[in-house]
Amino acid sequence: MPYTNLLKGRFSESNRAYFVTTVTHRRYPVFLDLYCARDLVHCIKQIHESNKVVSLSWVIMPDHFHWLVQLNETSLPKIMNELKGMSSRKINQRLSVSGRLWQKSYFDRAIRDGEDIRQVARYIVANPLRSGIAEHIGDYPHWDAIWL
């Protein structure tokens, strides 16, 4: 799907939760590196602590990232630009490389009123189990949810 098609009709609403997925450039498994994964965690927490969003749940997989996030008074494109830019600079510096870390866009789905948000969070954190990289979620280090 061309990048411009992903942007058509995109609208983000304050105080709404979104399930976001973004993938590394060419699906390179950069987050197999513990320190690169922790750099992304730091960026997630920094954005959360800035009160632009409430980070409800997330998981970092080797080549992509899922995030359940509630927007405050900002837009999803601004948040994703900030997260991708901040994490790219930090990880590229760590690896002594330059260039793209992330694919150009991301996928998002607004959580509907009445939808079980905890079920969405469980789906996100169970990603390592479904992919077979962990047998128990407690064995996988790169996830969090506010309910735990």
Model confidence band, residue 3 (pLDDT cutoffs 50, 70, 90):
very low
Model pLDDT for residues 113-141, shown as the tens digit of each residue: 888 999 999 999 999 999 999 999 999 99
Model pLDDT for residues 78-117, shown as the tens digit of each residue: 999 999 999 999 999 999 999 999 999 999 999 998 889 9
Share of the chain above pLDDT 70, in %: 92
pLDDT given at position 21 = 98
Asked if residues 123 and 109 have their Cβ atoms less than 8 Å apart, the reply is: no
Domain residue ranges in the chain: 3-145
Superfamily of domain 3-145: Transposase IS200-like (3.30.70.1290)
Mean of pLDDT values over 33-42: 98
